[in-house]
Chain A
Amino acid sequence: MNENLLRGELVRLTVEEPETLARLESQWSVDSEYSRLLDWDPARRLSVKNFQKWIEKHYENEANYAFTIRTMADDRIIGGIGLEGIRWTHRDCFVGIGLGEREFWGKGYGTDAMRIILRYAFTELNLLRVTLDVFEYNQRGVRSYEKAGFVYEGRARGLIMREGRRWDVIYMGILREDWLKLEHEKQ
C-alpha cells in the first residue's frame, strides 16, 4: 500500500478551506496571464466572496476532486489541481491545473503535481482514462503534460479568440494501461 499517495518529489496535494483558497485566487487573478492560461472565459477580477461561492459549489459537486498544491520544501500553497466531470460509468474525467505563483512556473512543480493526481486517478479512483485540454499558446503546459505521459489526441480549430486572433485548443489523454507501462519502466 502506498501511504504517500498524495506526495510527490517537489509538492504534495492537500485540501484547504474555501475561504483560504478564495483569498489566494483573488490575489492570483491580478496576473491576467494566469487567468488566460487557465480558462477561455474572459480574465476578470472577482471578489473573495464570489470566489468562495464558486469554490464551495465546485467542492459540493461529486464529479470533482479538487486539491491544493503545496511545496514540500516550505509548505507554501502555489496552485491548484483537480479532476473534474468524472463520468463514473465510463471511468473517464478531465484534469485541470493552475499555478498561481508564477515563480514556480517551468520548474517541474506542475509536472510533479500532475504525476501525483494521475496516480490518484488510476490507483485510488480506478479511472481508466484522464483527458485534458490546453490552449495552443500554452506550449509550456503541453511539454509538462507530455512529460507526465499525456498523448496528443487532436485539436479544436480556432476555438478561442485572444489578442485579436484565433487559437486552437489541443486535446490530450492518457489511458491507465499506458500509465502503468510508464510506471513499470521507471522501476
Chain B
Amino acid sequence: MAAVRPYLRGVRLLPFKIHAVYGGHGHSLPVAFFFPVLAMGNPVAVFYLTPALSQREREQRRSMSIDNPLFEGKLIRLGPVDHEKDPEIVSRWTHNAGYMRMMYTDPARPLSIWQVKKKLEELEKSIEEDKNLFHFRIRTRSDDRLVGFAELSWISWTNASGYVRLGIGASEDQRQGYGRETLNLLLRYAFDELNLYRLTALIPEYNLPALALFKRFSFVEEVRRRLALERDARRWDLLQFGLLAAEWKERQK
C-alpha cells in the first residue's frame, strides 16, 4: 500500500472519501488527492497522492500563468499614450532638468505642450511602423494619474534582444515603488510575452537610482564606455547592463 502504485489502484482499494485538491491560479489540473484514514469514524491519518511530475513539468506548472495580469501591479498599471491628457503632464516633466538629464543624453530642454504632442505622435507612428518598440505609460491604479513611462525598444527579433528603460517624471512620485513595480512587469512582458533572450539597459554613471534599481533586478554590468558623457563640466562613464532571460527565470524561483 505504502509503495505508491498507480494511484487509480489506490483509489479502488480505499473506500475512503476522496478530496481532489486543485492548484491556485485557476489551474484545472489536480495537484493532489487526499485520502483520510478513518478509524471508528474519526480521521487518524491522511494519505495523499500526487501525480508524478518531472522537474520540468513542476517548473512549468509553477510559472504557467496565462491569466497572470501583465499590465497590472499593486500600485500601478501600464497603458497606452493618452494623447489628450498626457502632453500637459509630460511638458511639466521636461521643465525639470534633473529628470531630463537622468533620462536622456540629449541636452535637457523644456518642451511646450504642443512640442510634446508632436513627439507623442511620432512615437505612435514609430510603434505602428517599426514593430520593434513597446511603449507604456505608467498610471497609478488608485487615481489613474500619469506618473511615468516604460519601454522595450530597438528589439532585434532574429536575435531576440532589446533595450529597456523607464522613467518616473515628477520628483514627488519617485521613491514610491512605482519604478520597481514597473520594471517587474516590464521584465515579465519582455521574457514571457515577447520571448526575448536578453535585455540591455544603458545607464549613465551618475544615475544612481537607476543603477540601484537595475542591479536589484540582477542586471549585470557588461560594458563600461569610458568617459562617454559630459555633464557639469566633467566626463562620466556610460554603463551598459545586461539581463538574460535564464537569469530572470532563476530569480523568479
Contacts and interface: CB of A to CB of B under 8 A. Distances in A.
Interface stretch (B1-9, B58-66, B115-123, B223-231): B223-231
Interface in A131-187: 131, 153-161, 166, 171, 173, 175
Interface string B177-190: 00000000000000
A1 B223 CA distance: 37
Given A128-B235, A161-B160, A156 B228 contact: no
Contact of B228 (A40, A129, A166): A129
B240 interface: yes
B156 interface: yes
Contact of B242 (A92, A157, A160, A166): A157
A159 to B, nearest CB: 5
A171 B105 CA distance: 19
Interface stretch (A4-12, A83-91, A96-104): A83-91
A160 B157 CA distance: 10
A37 to B, nearest CB: 15
A158 B244 contact: yes
A42 B240 CA distance: 24
B57 interface: no
Interface in A66-112: 87, 89-92
Given A40-B156, A158-B244, A90 B105 contact: yes
B159 interface: yes
Contacts of B221: 154
A127 to B, nearest CB: 11
B128 interface: no
A41 interface: yes
Contacts of B34: none
B57 to A, nearest CB: 26
Main SS class of interface, A: strand
A92 B107 CA distance: 14
Contacts of A41: 156, 158
Contacts of A40: 156, 158-159
A128 B235 CA distance: 10
B94 interface: no
A87 B229 CA distance: 9
B241 to A, nearest CB: 10
Interface string B90-117: 0000000000000001110000000000
A157 B247 CA distance: 12
A89 B233 CA distance: 11
Interface string B204-236: 000000000000000011111111111000010
Contact of A154 (B160, B222, B244): B222
Contacts of B220: 157
B198 interface: yes
Nearest to B223: A154
Nearest to B200: A156
Given A155-B223, A156-B200, A131 B159 contact: no
Contacts of B228: 90, 92, 129, 131, 173
A153 B158 contact: no
A156 B158 contact: no
Contacts of A175: 226-227
A83 to B, nearest CB: 14
Given A42-B158, A90-B105, A158-B244, A153 B225 contact: yes
B240 A156 contact: yes
19 contacts: A92-B228, A128-B227, A131-B228, A153-B226, A154-B222, A154-B223, A155-B223, A156-B240, A157-B220, A158-B197, A158-B244, A159-B161, A159-B198, A159-B242, A160-B156, A161-B158, A171-B240, A173-B225, A175-B227
Interface of A: 40-42, 87, 89-92, 128-129, 131, 153-161, 166, 171, 173, 175
Interface of B: 105-107, 156, 158-161, 197-198, 200, 220-230, 235, 240, 242, 244
The 8 closest A-B pairs by CB, nearest first: A154-B223, A171-B223, A92-B228, A160-B159, A90-B229, A154-B222, A90-B230, A161-B159
